[in-house]
Each structure stands twice: as C-alpha cells, then as structure tokens.
Structure 1
Amino acid sequence: MALVAEGKSNAQIAMATGLSPSTVKDYVANACHKLGVEGRVGLAVWWIERARDRVTPADRAWPFGGGRREGL
C-alpha cells in the first residue's frame, strides 16, 4: 500500500513487484473494499493515517508488507 500512497500507477507497482498490472488492480480494489475506502486516494489516506510510522523496507513491496509474493 505504500506504493499506492506514493502515487504509483498499477503499471509502476507491477514493475516494482513482478506482478501483472491486472493483479495489482485487483489487489487495490480488494484492499479498498476490505478497508471500506473509496479508490486509491482513500487507500492512500488510510495508509498514511495508520501506518506511516511503522513502514519498513519490506512494507514497500506489494502486497501488504510482504516480499514479492509473500503473504498472498
């Protein structure tokens, strides 16, 4: 989510993580639904408000703080 909060596009996140853009799109949509926020801006606000003080280098990888595909 850190990459979404940084304003990265699905394509940029896909390149950084080795996932397909459509998979990233699905992850973003699922995260928004599960967190009850609307769109990427809502997801970014959620992330910044709750997690900015806990970010580690592993958190920058998608999804949700795991390595490339850990935590799926």
Structure 2
Amino acid sequence: MTDEQATLDGRKGVAIGRVEDFSHFRQDIIIDPQNGLPIGERQVLTEPRGTMPAGTATAWTTVETTVSNTAA
C-alpha cells in the first residue's frame, strides 16, 4: 500500500498493488480514503524496460462516480 498516489485527473488516494514477477509490473487500484470508492487503477514497471525506468506508469484509468435519482 502506498499513500497519496495521484490519478490522472489529480485526485489523490491510497494505492493497493499486486506485483507480477513474471511480467515485472505492479497492478494498482487507487482508493479514495474519504469514502472508500475506487478512483482509478494503473500498471507500473517494477524493473527498467528499454528507456523506461522502474516506477514508470505504463497504463492507467480514472473512475468517476456520481449519485443518480433514477435507475437506468
């Protein structure tokens, strides 16, 4: 777990990651510490690859949730 890991849109949360030794990636889910909702995910290199150093995020997604008065 890593505190205050920023997502693409600048929101900060707690990153919970799982390391994949075979592929040398860590897959993180980022949780909003205020409400426990997921706000994003990312894939991070755990070892250098080509010109990219360890710690480089190679893929990411942000999640936005809202409350609605109706069901679709």
Provide the TM-score with structure 2 as the length reference.
0.28
**TM-score under structure 1 length normalisation:** 0.28
The one of the two structures with greater contact order (alpha-carbon pairs below 8 A, sep at least 6) is 1
Larger helix percent:
1
